[in-house]
Amino acid sequence: MDNLIVQMVNENQETLRMNWLKEVNLFKEKELAGMMTTFKFNEETDQQFFEMLIKHINYYDISKDGTLDQFFDQVLHTGLPLSYLTQGLQAARRVILNLLVETEKDKEKLAALYREIDRWLDPILNRVVENSSQIWEKTVSIQKTALLELSAPLIPVFKNISVMPLIGSIDTERAKLIMENLLNGVIKYRSEVVLIDITGVPVVDTMVAHHIIQAADAVRLLGSTCILVGIRPEIAQTIVSLGIDLSLFPTKSTLQKGMENALEITNQQLISNK
Amino acid sequence: MDIQSCVEVRNEWDIVSARQLGRNMAKELGFGNVDQARITTAISELARNIYLYAGRGKICIEPIDQLGRKGLRIVALDNGPGIREIRKVMEDGYTTSGGLGAGLPGVKRLMDEFSIESTVDVGTEISATKWLR
């Protein structure tokens, strides 16, 4: 860092702080006015933020030793938006540049100082963006695995009867998983009848229907029967409008009716113990 | 009431958000359960076609009001390869992707009005309307 800048920043620390806070507060007002959710900004964080920037100028690169990461975590933890950090950094750049323009009149030197400031601020900005995108990527991948885990379990209920409840939208990845779990489960539990329950599937379009038909067909090849249950009236109507032929395998409106049918097929009976 | 909302379709998850947007608007307009399901299914088909054949495009959904007659219009736009044989595409069971081939004729049956315009190598615009009864 150019000595001139360090010296100037230190001499004018209070003016810089005032100007910076003014800019940051302006941003906060705008943010609070425009956003639906309100953030709890506090002055302590502002002070810390500024001290950190001063430290960055005077002593060491805070994007490398974890100081920045720590602060970043703290900011997100208190529920402040990412834009608070980026705007704060940009505000710092503005106030320091303003001060430089006032003190340094030589154009070439000024340009050099500009570049110096850029070199100084860019790594922190990069780090902030990197950090936040990493956090998002991590969250998304965690949610993805969580989603896959509850994706398509096959549950053995009675002897030779299993149920696969499907909940939520079905995309290509899930469809593959459904097929795999279904076929593996049929072998593992020696299921003669499998009930696929689509009560929790919001939309049955041609793709979803196609996947279900394929799965049922594959189950049939293994010598078992697949019963589609949980067809809501509105879904039944859309399936008919779409012209999808589901006559190849039995369907029932509810899981209960399907289960009665399954017990019949496997020659079992539920006897109440009265 | 001419607030038009659009959803960019680039991956499978966008299909879900297009569907949700459609369902919410249909609900707001006062469509019944069955028509809501019809509208969301139609959006699902159109969005999936964009994803499968064009790669990217958008689904726009707008409430319409013609002389007091209310309805909902879905417009699917893409700059994909276009459809060579529209007549064939509108036949049941015709597919180039190994699907059921029920998508577009299905959408036509699910909705009240349907129009399709496509130019090879330029793109496709499909518009479908459902009237509120």
Give chain B's domains with CATH numbers: 5-131 (3.30.565.10)
Helix A233-242 and helix A206-221: axis angle, to 10°?
A: 90
A244: nearest CB among B15, B44, B100: B100
Q: Which has more pLDDT, A109 or B129?
A: B129
Render pLDDT for A138-180 as a digit per residue (tens, 0 to 9): 988 888 887 777 678 899 999 999 999 998 888 888 888 889 9
Distances (CA, A) of A249 to A43, A211, A229, A243, B107: 67, 14, 11, 16, 24
Q: What's the rounded Cα separation, in Å, for the pair B99 and B102?
A: 8
Q: What's the rounded Cα separation, in Å, for the pair B44 and B72?
A: 15
CB contact, 8 Å: B92 with chain A? yes
| Residue that the structure tokens 């910076």 belong to | A20
Residues in A whose CB is inside 8 Å of some CB of B read 169, 171-172, 202-207, 209-210, 213, 233-235, 237-238, 241-244
Helices (H) and strands (E) in chain B, counts: 4, 5
Token readout for A242 is 């779409």
Work out the average pLDDT over B79-105. Answer: 85
Enumerate the residues of chain B whose CB falls inside 8 A of the CB of residue A207: 44, 48, 99
CB contact under 8 A, A202 and B36: no
* Amino acid B1: pLDDT: 45
Q: What's the rounded Cα separation, in Å, for the pair A179 and A177?
A: 5
**Considering chain A, what percentage of its residues have pLDDT values greater than 90?**
29
DSSP letter, residue B123: E
* Amino acid at residue number B104: L
Global pTM value: 0.70
Q: What's the rounded Cα separation, in Å, for the pair A167 and A60?
A: 53
Q: What's the rounded Cα separation, in Å, for the pair B130 and B133?
A: 9
Render pLDDT for A170-227 as a digit per residue (tens, 0 to 9): 888 888 888 999 999 999 999 999 999 999 998 899 999 999 999 999 999 999 999 9
Q: What's the rounded Cα separation, in Å, for the pair B106 and B77?
A: 18
Render pLDDT for B26-42 as a digit per residue (tens, 0 to 9): 999 999 999 999 999 99
* Amino acid A266: pLDDT: 92
B45: nearest CB among A171, A206, A213: A206
Q: Which has more pLDDT, A23 or B54?
A: B54
